[in-house]
Structure 1
């Protein structure tokens, strides 16, 4: 019997013993850098000549690891291995599948600082952000294990006299998991173990910028007792390997987290029925956001400024939930803007060698160039209040940036920047603020800072986002507490970490027997 779910606590780095333990983990990880990692297909280690080189975004000269790169031939082997393993895995007792997740969570919990240290190195995460990423990975495993136990016998339906009816869930087949780099452990783990615990098999293609953390996690699943072929690790290019996996007639489920453009393209490809395909593919996509913190005139203005800054600059704004827009009532606009600038100027930026570093680098050169180009656009569209500079000489560092006095339809008010940039816009009243908040194609998260109860009720109805928060920041959803997913072009609102997520990976079956 599993204990009730409770989310993994975050580490308090103000405690010296915790700091020392994390420093020790960082030292250990540094000794293990620049190793080679093979592909894993049906339990077999495969080494290829073509490699993916993972580097530290804080220090471009530091190689995290060299990972073998899959091609279409290996992708085909992975699909076939997953398809064959599915024949056995689908019949494994759901409780045993859940137990594997619990064992894997226990292994990661014992190595928590080690995994977080890998995230510091490979993703450039500050300590606090890395620790939260690892905690969320543990949470996904623990939560989905318990959810599977609840779902294993199905749901009650009515039976008539002389008739017995059952309604239960059955696995679907091979799942292609395409995971992102920004939550290189949490989302990668969650989108891998959800199909596994529901009886499906997985071909995992992690982001090419963070493949080492994924390799470490697959090793944990093996250690926890996952049979060979149930998860297959095949990092590779999206154009060569990703498209092939999505198109394959034996692929049954596709789960993707990433950009809008890639997600839409994937969704279109998945709709095509290929020769030999006898099913329609299930698609779960999360595609980003352009999230807004709305500040009412009747608000705690200090809380408002803090919420804007935390939402915008946590992990350098590289979260789909990041608050990249602040829409503030004109009566309090100047005061909130001034305080947000003060708070932003207090933030430290650099390589996250210690817990004192608030903001690290952005992920790579492509991201750096894109963000800096948006800052240039913003300087022409509005008023640069602070930040605006970057330095990519050693790592990919960009100052936390505030641009004010923007029109609601300005480019940097509409397009996802995915970096440490927040755009300020003025609202005439609360209705106008909600109108601006809803004026993008995205609908992922949002926050409203107000003490007006009527406005809270209005926002519940009219602020069109999947995750809405009042009097707090708009990031930091916790598994089992804040099921996560968005409206509109933010994706399929699949609500990861919530009670409706696992059934997306299964088919409901009705069985009726006459006595």
Structure 2
């Protein structure tokens, strides 16, 4: 039985042992600088002909990593993989999906300083800022796991004589998650975990400024037993691939955090209902 939700404590960097752990994690992440990363579609590592570099904003000459540049064709492949995985994932018991998030939260605690280090070097965050981002990501994993246990079964509903009303929440289908660069772990983890723990599958497309941070989160999910295709990880410029996903008639929902300009464009594009789309897309659009 899980206890009540509590916010993850911040790391006290006035303690020498915590500073030592952070310095060690920075060395560990720095050892991977310039690495060529993969995308993951249907659980399989994939590379594309075109690539782009992620750089340290505090030291632009420093290449964090080289990433595949997903285009429209790759976005379509990721969507189809998510659609296939949805047929089995939606039937996984709620408690099993919640347990995946609880395991992910525990793993993130173990890897906390590595996630911090990735944000220091790829997003230019200070140590406390990076640690706060990681703590919030853990909070999202813990919170949404508990919430799905609360909402996953039959819900209370006003009785009516002669009727047997029933209310249950069901998964929607395939969604696309488009997180920002400024809270590259917390918001990414929150939007992704909320979608998958409720039985949906997603195409996750992190900001092209912070793809390594997103890659580490996807790697964490895989390490705790994420089934193939439930999260499909692709990288590249926002306009390429992202627009295809937003407009696609098989995308049921879109979770976006970013600029007003891009957000309004998503709202306009997602408002269309092309032939073959028998629903109106659900949009979560947080704009700065």
- TM-score calculated relative to the size of structure 2: 0.98
What's the counterpart of residue 41 of structure 2?
41
Matches of 1:160 and 1:211, distance apart in 2: 52
What's the counterpart of residue 238 of structure 1?
238
1:162 deviates by 5.3
Task: Give CA-to-partner distance per residue, 1:492-512, whole Å, 9 cap, x none.
Answer: xxxxxxxxxxxxxxxxxxxxx
Q: Is the 8 A contact 2:56 2:123 kept in 1?
A: yes
Q: Would you say 1:88 and 2:59 are equivalent positions?
A: no
Secondary structure of 2:279's match?
coil
1:240 deviates by 2.0
Secondary structure of 2:9's match?
coil
Secondary structure of 1:140's match?
helix
What's the counterpart of residue 123 of structure 1?
123
Task: Give CA-to-partner distance per residue, 1:267-292, whole Å, 9 cap, x none.
Answer: 0000001121111000001101xxxx
Matches of 1:188 and 1:69, distance apart in 2: 19
What's the counterpart of residue 210 of structure 2?
210
Matches of 2:239 and 2:34, distance apart in 1: 26
Matches of 1:171 and 1:250, distance apart in 2: 14
Gaps in structure 1 of 5+ consecutive residues: 289-515
Q: Would you say 1:166 and 2:163 are equivalent positions?
A: no
1:161 deviates by 4.8
What's the counterpart of residue 273 of structure 2?
273
Matches of 2:282 and 2:234, distance apart in 1: 21
1:33 deviates by 1.4
What's the counterpart of residue 12 of structure 2?
12
Q: Is the 8 A contact 2:54 2:211 kept in 1?
A: yes
1:118 deviates by 0.5
Task: Give CA-to-partner distance per residue, 1:298-325, whole Å, 9 cap, x none.
Answer: xxxxxxxxxxxxxxxxxxxxxxxxxxxx
What's the counterpart of residue 262 of structure 2?
262
Q: How does 1:22-421 map to 2 (within 5 A)?
A: 22-161=22-161, 163-288=163-288
Greater helix proportion: 2
Secondary structure of 1:240's match?
coil
Q: Is the 8 A contact 1:39 1:69 kept in 2?
A: no
Secondary structure of 2:169's match?
strand
Matches of 1:56 and 1:212, distance apart in 2: 11
Q: How does 1:441-480 map to 2 (within 5 A)?
A: none
Secondary structure of 2:166's match?
strand
Matches of 1:235 and 1:88, distance apart in 2: 25
Q: How does 1:426-437 map to 2 (within 5 A)?
A: none
Secondary structure of 2:167's match?
strand
Gaps in structure 2 of 5+ consecutive residues: none
Secondary structure of 1:232's match?
strand
Matches of 1:118 and 1:193, distance apart in 2: 20
Matches of 1:277 and 1:150, distance apart in 2: 31
Matches of 2:287 and 2:160, distance apart in 1: 45
What's the counterpart of residue 430 of structure 1?
none
Give aligned pairs, total.
Answer: 288
Task: Give CA-to-partner distance per residue, 1:88-121, whole Å, 9 cap, x none.
Answer: 1111111111100110111110010111001000
Highest CA radius of gyration, 1 or 2?
A: 1
The structure whose RCO (Cα within 8 Å, separation 6+) is larger is 2
Secondary structure of 1:145's match?
helix
Matches of 1:78 and 1:249, distance apart in 2: 14
Matches of 1:242 and 1:19, distance apart in 2: 39
Matches of 1:160 and 1:24, distance apart in 2: 63
